[in-house]
Amino acid sequence: MLYVEKPHRRFNPLTREWVLVSPHRAQRPWLGQVEKTPSERLPAYDPDCYLCPGNSRAGGKKNPDYQGTFVFDNDFPALLPPDASGLNEGQKPAHVDQRIFCAEPVSGICRVVCFSPRHDLTFPELDITEAEAVVRTWIEQTLDLAKIADIAYVQVFENKGEMMGCSNPHPHSQIWSTNYIPNQPAVELASLLDYQVEHDRCLLCDYLRAELDSSERVVASNDAFTAIVPFWAIWPFEILVISHRHVGFLPELDVAEITALADIMQQITIRYDNLFEISFPYSMGFHQSPVNGASYPQSHLHAHFYPPLLRSATVKKFMVGFEMLAMPQRDLTPETAASRLRAMPAVHYRHQEV
């Protein structure tokens, strides 16, 4: 590819932002912060864990003796339901200039999804049936939250590892539903709509076809989903998962696609863990159609994986300086990252024969 070994910038058509790519810096010496290596083994059950079956949570409620996935309303939610948020209470002060000091009340419901009763099994270590159960739970919860009045968007996400701010090692994800469309989905939906209006086609459908044709940045693929290190990736081993069929909403997936989604996510996360032979940290989330009653034909279901590790299990990428004040920058090219991930074994390193 042109410029691949020289400094250049790449355009992200989803966010309509640029990223600076500096391949010549990949070999620079590192004398900065070194992270602690994550602990390798957790117990199957931890009596002090507030997510394990039968234990009391931080808010005082006791978990049932659950055997599969377990969902509960977050005991310390970032959002409150409409009836508790005070949406209709009070008026904006007349003396405040709303053009400058603009604020508004929000509401929502935040839930936690435990993957299984096992304290020690992350998503790549589940069997495929357990992984499918997690996907089905995400779908069921999306449908349940979408029925609630005033909910406009359902955000399914997972923060894995202390490095990503995960407050409890028991494998779990979260679902935050909001009475508004959050920033990132809103930006992407606007870009997807503009592309559809201009070209009468879907941006992500076109992008997926182009990536499959070249295969340079494809990490894994099955009958229904493909995982790609996107051309415009910011994080070193960032991955974009795109559905082959043009669907906008997790609940639109059929039975085969649910299995395929669980499979592709395991293919990704196993490769992540094998890369540095640790439980690989990341933030992952789905972008899907809003649930505010409007039509979004431009929406195309996809998931973002944003992992922070750069060179090893103990060296992570920092977003500071130029990246905070000007634009994102990366040293490792997406093509190199995809090649390294593709080369990883499909079997988790803990299960490989010695």
Closest CA to 145 of 63, 250, 222: 250
Count of CB atoms situated within 10 Å of the CB of 21:
25
Contact assessment for residue 116 and residue 68, using Cβ atoms and an 8 Å cutoff: yes
pLDDT at 115 over 70: yes
Q: Check 172, 300, 302, 304 and give the catalytic one.
A: 172
> At the fourth CATH level, which superfamily is domain 41-342?
HIT-like (3.30.428.10)
Pairing of strands 329-330, 17-21: parallel
pTM of the predicted structure, to 2 decimals = 0.93
Those residues with Cβ within 8 angstroms of residue 201's Cβ, 6 or more apart along the chain or in another chain? 195
Closest CA to 236 of 60, 21, 7: 21
- In whole angstroms, how far apart are CA 345 and each of 40, 173, 349? 19, 25, 8
Mean pLDDT, residues 12-17 taken together: 98
Residue 344 pLDDT: 95
Residue 185 pLDDT: 98
Residue 354 pLDDT: 46
Q: What percent of the chain has pLDDT over 90?
A: 77
Q: Give the C-alpha separation, 120 to 279, whole Å.
A: 11
Count of CB atoms situated within 10 Å of the CB of 84:
10
Q: Which residue has the higher pLDDT, 46 or 351?
A: 46
Cα 127–303–33 angle (5° rounding)? 90
In the numeric block, the tokens 């409150």 are attached to: 80
Mean pLDDT, residues 330-347 taken together: 94
Q: What percent of the chain has pLDDT over 70?
A: 91
Mean pLDDT, residues 11-36 taken together: 75
Residue 343 pLDDT: 96
Residue 273 pLDDT: 94
Please report which helix (H) or strand (E) contains residue 260, including its range.
helix 255-276
Those residues with Cβ within 8 angstroms of residue 3's Cβ, 6 or more apart along the chain or in another chain? none
Q: Give the C-alpha separation, 15 to 191, whole Å.
A: 7
Using pLDDT thresholds of 50, 70 and 90, give the confidence band for residue 83: confident
172 is catalytic: yes
Report pLDDT digits (tens) over 188-208.
Answer: 999 999 999 999 999 999 999
Using pLDDT thresholds of 50, 70 and 90, give the confidence band for residue 163: confident
> Which range (94-108, 216-230, 269-283) has the least confidence?
94-108
For the four alpha carbons of 63, 282, 266 and 175, in that order, the dihedral sign comes to positive
Mean pLDDT, residues 182-188 taken together: 98
Burial zone of 199 (CB within 10 Å; 0-12 exposed, 13-18 middle, 19+ buried): exposed
Give the amino acid at 82: P
* Token pair in block for residue 16: 């309509």
Mean pLDDT, the chain, whole residue set: 91
Cα 63–68–74 angle (5° rounding)? 45
Most confident of 4-13, 256-265, 271-280: 256-265
Using pLDDT thresholds of 50, 70 and 90, give the confidence band for residue 32: very low
pLDDT at 24 over 90: no
Q: Where are the alpha helices (DSSP H) in 147-254?
A: 183-199, 203-214
DSSP letter (8 states) at residue 326: T
Mean pLDDT, residues 159-178 taken together: 89
Report pLDDT digits (tens) over 312-322.
Answer: 777 778 888 99
Using pLDDT thresholds of 50, 70 and 90, give the confidence band for residue 30: very low
Residue 261 pLDDT: 98
Q: Which residue has the higher pLDDT, 219 or 101?
A: 219
Mean pLDDT, residues 48-56 taken together: 97
Using pLDDT thresholds of 50, 70 and 90, give the confidence band for residue 91: low
Q: Which residue has the higher pLDDT, 75 or 35?
A: 75
Q: Give the C-alpha separation, 168 to 226, whole Å.
A: 30
pLDDT at 56 over 70: yes
Pairing of strands 172-178, 225-228: unpaired
pLDDT at 309 over 90: no
Cα 221–249–148 angle (5° rounding)? 150
